[in-house]
């Protein structure tokens, strides 16, 4: 990679979306950056476990952060991973042990709900630990903040008092967005009842700016209770809460899903009421399932991060997150192979590209400017076809084929390729082999296959992929296929059992000449039958 001066100059002009986003931060501070530097934030609701959307938001924000650092070298940056763990538990999540323990504590802050797993002081602490382990597992650099800790420590007190002093102005931002019933009872402050410990959604009957308090009527006793808005005695409604922490933490950049556009706008207006500029950012599109429906955690119709990582390396998932973040995309098992091969292609091109192209290459952003030197002599799609045709999920058997095509490779010397071998074996076993249906060739196809067999035999074993590929083309042309795509489709459907497949010359070299001829013989027997 070029030196920092050349990198900065190229970054300032580059059109890749992380640089486009980073330029918003340059425009935010035309007269110099604050002493604390630039603050990025991602938010997390710890009523459930981290998921693929959590990964997407953090990895994309990190890409913008690194792009900004290239443009403004020496300016301090921070990424805050904020957990809204003071939120009241609204419902018992599915699949949680000891659900009765949670059910008995509905409405309490997540950090006051017992941990049903029995490993942490609270359910919120359990999920916070999972979040941090999740982020650490991917090597993200971040600073974790707990909403409960921030409220109770006094970190938010000054901004909470500002909201109290601007009570009417803040309410007037929110009220037009609510229905008549909700308008009658709405308050930005949610007292935490001293007796029950529940986060209360009750009308505020009085607020005292000088004393820093709000008052409400406890429904059970009809008693008026006065509590401070500081020190963790109250929590804010979430749209006001979001604006409050932008102001209190000095957040400069936060992205959010397209479903939160209205919330971002409202929170931004509240931030301006408090005398602050809301953070820059953009609204990314949501993921769709195989049928084009929006993925929902409650419906479980999406692909989990654990499932992706069973079948593909994390870099392939990061690539999927990098590409077209403002476009709705299907997040299903069938997108994984393409993402893996595209990652390999981008990685292979990177070293020979000029700096302008390198900065637009996704692997530059995936690897924070230092992509590894990785030798991937065989594509993932080819490995998939090999595992499918060989009907094996044994990586050792796949490696025997790989070593034939790429002498000198092995699990120890090529760990990245070894990962792909294991992923291909699992993916083929679970998704490809069950759907393979080899059909009998037509008369024209059978004649072409017989001719191809003769040609391959004449070439002999040990030839390179190009020699085999040449004979595949010649057999198709000799058989009179006007469109050679039809010939290749026939090869895939009769030899492999799929309508799509690999470059045949590479496949033959990898699978083996004798083994390929055995496939042709099997197809011709089907024709004879």
If you average pLDDT over residues 468-487, what whole number do you get?
A: 96
Q: According to the model, what pLDDT value does residue 184 have?
A: 87
Residue 322's nearest CA partner among 97, 59, 119 is 59
Average pLDDT, the chain: 93
If you average pLDDT over residues 102-112, what whole number do you get?
A: 96
Q: What is the number of residues in the chain?
A: 529
The CA-to-CA distance between both ends of the chain, in Å, stands at: 61
Q: Give residues with Cβ within 8 angstroms of 147, minimum separation 6.
A: 82, 83, 84, 85, 86, 87, 235, 241, 245
From 3.40.50.620, 3.40.50.2000, 3.40.1160.10, 3.10.580.10, which CATH number describes the 4-153 domain?
3.40.50.620
C-alpha dist (Å) from residue 57 to 42, 270, 419, 444: 7, 23, 25, 53
If you average pLDDT over residues 1-12, what whole number do you get?
A: 84
pLDDT band at 1 (very low <50, low <70, confident <90, very high): very low
Residue 115's nearest CA partner among 44, 52, 47, 200 is 47
pLDDT band at 51 (very low <50, low <70, confident <90, very high): confident
Most confident of 45-54, 224-233, 372-381: 224-233
Q: Which residue has the higher pLDDT, 219 or 471?
A: 471
If you average pLDDT over residues 201-212, what whole number do you get?
A: 96
If you average pLDDT over residues 231-258, what whole number do you get?
A: 97
Q: According to the model, what pLDDT value does residue 303 have?
A: 80
pLDDT band at 301 (very low <50, low <70, confident <90, very high): low
| Residue 343 pLDDT greater than 80, yes or no | yes
Q: According to the model, what pLDDT value does residue 93 have?
A: 87
Q: According to the model, what pLDDT value does residue 2 have?
A: 57
Among the ranges given (29-38, 194-203, 284-293, 298-307), the one the predictor scored with the smallest mean pLDDT:
298-307
The whole-model pTM stands at: 0.91
Q: Which residue has the higher pLDDT, 2 or 518?
A: 518
SS3 199: strand
From 1.10.10.920, 1.20.810.10, 3.40.50.970, 1.10.10.350, which CATH number describes the 443-528 domain?
1.10.10.350
Kindly report the CA angle at 487 between 482 and 489, in degrees rounded to 5? 130
Q: Encode burial over 285-302: b for 16+ CB neighbours within 10 A, e otherwise.
A: ebbbbeeeeebeeeeebb
Backbone angles phi, psi at 81, to 5 degrees: -100, 105
Q: According to the model, what pLDDT value does residue 300 have?
A: 57
If you average pLDDT over residues 297-321, what whole number do you get?
A: 85
CATH 3.40.50.620 intervals, the chain: 4-153
Q: Distance between CA 108 and CA 90 in Å, rounded? A: 9
Q: pLDDT of 124-183, one tens digit each? A: 999 999 999 999 999 999 999 999 999 999 999 999 999 999 999 999 999 999 999 899
């Amino acid at each position: 990679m070029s030196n920092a001066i050349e990198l900065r100059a190229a970054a300032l002009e580059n059109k890749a979306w992380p640089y486009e986003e980073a330029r918003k931060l340059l425009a935010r501070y035309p007269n110099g950056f604050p002493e604390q530097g630039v603050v990025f934030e991602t938010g997390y609701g710890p009523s459930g476990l981290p998921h693929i959307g959590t990964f997407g938001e953090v990895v994309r924000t990190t890409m913008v952060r690194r792009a900004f650092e290239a443009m403004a070298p020496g300016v301090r940056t921070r990424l805050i991973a904020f957990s809204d763990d003071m939120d009241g538990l609204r419902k018992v999540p599915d699949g949680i042990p000891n659900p009765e323990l949670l059910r008995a504590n509905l409405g309490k802050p997540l950090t006051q709900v017992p941990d049903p797993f029995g490993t942490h002081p609270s359910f919120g602490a359990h999920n916070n630990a999972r979040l941090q382990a999740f982020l650490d597992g991917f090597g993200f650099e971040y600073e974790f903040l707990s909403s409960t800790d921030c409220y109770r420590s006094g970190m938010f007190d000054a901004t909470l008092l500002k909201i109290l002093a601007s009570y009417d102005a803040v309410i007037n931002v929110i009220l037009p967005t609510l229905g008549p019933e909700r308008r009658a009872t709405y308050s930005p402050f949610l007292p935490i009842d001293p007796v029950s410990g529940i986060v209360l959604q009750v009308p505020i009957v009085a607020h005292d700016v000088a004393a820093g308090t709000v008052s409400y009527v406890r429904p059970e006793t009809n008693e008026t209770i006065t509590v401070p808005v500081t020190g963790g005695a109250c929590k804010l409604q979430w749209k006001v809460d979001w604006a409050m922490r932008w102001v209190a933490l000095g957040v400069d950049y936060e992205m959010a899903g397209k479903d939160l556009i209205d919330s971002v706008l409202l929170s931004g207006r509240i931030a301006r009421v408090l005398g602050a500029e809301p953070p820059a950012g953009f609204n990314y599109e949501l993921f769709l399932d195989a049928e084009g429906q929006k993925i929902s955690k409650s419906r479980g119709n999406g692909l989990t991060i654990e499932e992706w990582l069973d079948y593909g390396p994390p870099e392939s998932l990061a690539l999927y997150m990098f590409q077209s973040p403002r476009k709705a995309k299907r997040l299903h098992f069938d997108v994984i192979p393409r993402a893996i091969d595209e990652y390999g292609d981008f990685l292979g091109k990177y070293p020979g590209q000029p700096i302008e192209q390198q900065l637009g290459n996704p692997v530059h952003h995936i690897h924070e400017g230092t992509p590894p030197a990785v030798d991937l002599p065989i594509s993932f799609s080819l490995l998939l076809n090999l595992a499918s045709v060989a009907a094996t999920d044994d990586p050792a058997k796949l490696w025997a084929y790989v070593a034939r095509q790429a002498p000198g490779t092995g699990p120890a010397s090529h760990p990245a390729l070894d990962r792909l071998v294991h992923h291909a074996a699992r993916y083929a076993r679970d998704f490809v082999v069950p759907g393979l249906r080899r059909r009998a060739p037509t008369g024209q196809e059978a004649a072409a296959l017989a001719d191809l067999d003769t040609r391959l035999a004449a070439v002999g074993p040990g030839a390179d992929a190009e020699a085999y590929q040449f004979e595949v083309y010649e057999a198709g042309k000799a058989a009179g296929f006007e469109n050679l795509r039809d010939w290749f489709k026939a090869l895939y459907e009769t030899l492999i059992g799929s309508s799509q497949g690999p470059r045949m010359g590479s496949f033959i070299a990898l699978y083996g000449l004798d083994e390929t001829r055995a496939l042709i013989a099997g197809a011709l027997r089907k024709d004879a039958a």
